[in-house]
Amino acid sequence: MNKSFSLMAFTGILFACVFQVGAVQAFDVNAGPIWDNSDANVKCPGTCQWYGGWNGNWVTTIQGQMSVCGCNKSSEGGSNDANAGPIWNDGDAKGKCPIACKWYNGWNNQWRTTRPSQMSVCGCKQRVK
């Protein structure tokens, strides 16, 4: 009986964990170079502020050039600007902005640099509610 109860408890906990993981949607957003956890604690909250917040995860994708912050998907409020890493010109924006605006209704063909040589944002169409 004790083994049966333990198995039922384990199954219930496992179900709860799977349910919770399924309920949380996360994705990575380019944040420019992140050097360590302290740097991530500074950059990622701002990077993820319009995406439902930072989930505490980050990873370097191109050593010394680009890292991504793990953001929670959110369809509520906020700016329609999406971080896209450095954008050098209109041609570069045409490649990066449609990807950066994937959680919106697409790219509105606008972009601007927010941190020279480190970060630009793409203007995205209104979010899907």
Domains of the chain: 25-74 (3.30.1490.230), 80-129 (3.30.1490.230)
- Confidence label for 3 from pLDDT (cuts 50, 70 and 90): low
CA distances from 106 to 29, 41, 51, 97 (A): 16, 29, 15, 9
Could you read off the pLDDT of 52-105 as tens digits, one per residue? 778 899 999 999 999 999 887 654 444 578 888 899 999 999 999 999 888 778
Within its chain, how far is the Cα of 113 from the centroid? 19
> Whole-structure pTM over 0.85, yes or no?
no
Mean per-residue pLDDT over the chain, rounded? 76
